[in-house]
Amino acid sequence: MDLIWEGLRKALELLLTLDPEVLRITLLSLEVSGLATLISLVIGLGVAIPVALNEFPGKRLVIALLNTGMGLPPVVVGLFVTVLLWRNGPLGFLEILYTPSAMILAQAVIASPIIAGISLSALQHLPPGLRLQILALGASRPQMVWLLLKEARLPLLAAVMAGFGGVISEVGASIMVGGNIKGQTRVLTTATVMETSKGNFEVAFALSILLLVLAFSVNAVLTHLQQRNRPR
């Protein structure tokens, strides 16, 4: 119990004194996971929309693959991305291993299937007649897609939250492709692991609390967007 109070006190202290190192770590967590989520949103919708709106052979297989992808273990993604990005690996020429870009890439791989999977079921859940109705009113195809997305806004924002939640909290991929380098790729989760291994439990606890606060703040904003003038 002492540890928890000590951690809370330390977290408050780090927050109030605006410790520059902690601030940088927190902002980098937000930046990396935020960008990864945005990229995943584009990829996720890019996959979910055509799959939802078209019938084609193998559609069930694609959906099953997407749903499996929602559970991709971060360490597996981390290992895979590391091997790809090695200097002597196929994408080595990019020279982004151990940079925030590599972490964004790995996290986008983790979040994309999550967002695609939830968006797909959201779009499939819309009333089947809606599409015909919109087209009958003379909408072009892009207009129809846009209206469907608006209609499914609630579950789509839930997809974004699930994607963001998945990557802001993961540590396996970030530590492998980022390297937990001080001042460059250290984020809240990797710093927590390191402080724990150094035996600085209060600091680790304080970082965990910051992580929870950050995740809550982002979700509060998204929830606000989601619940504001809900469709009907």
Partner 1 sequence: MRTPRFPGWTWLLAASLACAGLQAGQPAAKTVILATTTSTQDSGLLDELIPRFEKQTGYVVKTIAVGSGQAIAMGKKGEADVLLVHSPDAEKALMAEGSGVNRRLVMHNDFILLGPAGDPARVRGKAAAAALQAIAAGHAVFMSRGDNSGTHAQEKKLWAAAGLKPEGQAWYQQTGLGMGQTLAVAAEKRAYTLSDRGTYLALRKKLGLEILSEGDAALLNVYHVIEVDPARHPRVNTPGARAFADFLVSKAVQTTIKEFGIGTFGSPLFFPDAGRPE
Q: 54-83: which residues touch partner 1 (CB under 8 A)?
A: none
The reply to whether 182 sits near partner 1 by the rule CB under 8 A is: yes
In the complex with partner 1, the residue whose CB is nearer, 20 or 142, is: 142
In the complex with partner 1, the residue whose CB is nearer, 9 or 150, is: 150
The reply to whether 133 sits near partner 1 by the rule CB under 8 A is: no
The reply to whether 146 sits near partner 1 by the rule CB under 8 A is: yes
Residue among 46, 64, 86, 224 that touches partner 1 (CB under 8 A): 86
The reply to whether 199 sits near partner 1 by the rule CB under 8 A is: yes
Residue among 100, 117, 163, 172 that touches partner 1 (CB under 8 A): 100
CA neighbor of 160 nearest in space, from 35, 52, 41: 41
The one-letter amino acid code at 155 reads: P
The Cα–Cα gap between 162 and 154 comes to 13
Choices 4-12, 71-79, 114-122, 197-205; region in contact with partner 1 by CB under 8 A: 197-205
CB of 199 vs partner 1, minimal distance in Å: 4
Joined tokens for residue 113: 């299937």
The reply to whether 98 sits near partner 1 by the rule CB under 8 A is: yes
Residue 137: CA atoms inside 13 Å, Cβ hemisphere, count? 9
The Cα–Cα gap between 222 and 159 comes to 11
Angle between helices 153-168 and 100-124 (to 10 degrees): 150
The secondary structure of 164-223 as a DSSP string is HHHHHT--HHHHHHH---TTTT--HHHHHHHHHHHT-HHHHHHHHHHHHHHHHHHHHHHH
The reply to whether 158 sits near partner 1 by the rule CB under 8 A is: no
Residue among 26, 107, 112, 180 that touches partner 1 (CB under 8 A): 180
The reply to whether 84 sits near partner 1 by the rule CB under 8 A is: no
In the complex with partner 1, the residue whose CB is nearer, 63 or 163, is: 163
The secondary structure of 73-93 as a DSSP string is -HHHHHHHHHHHHSTTSTTGG
In the complex with partner 1, the residue whose CB is nearer, 72 or 160, is: 160
Choices 62-70, 120-128, 140-148, 206-214; region in contact with partner 1 by CB under 8 A: 140-148
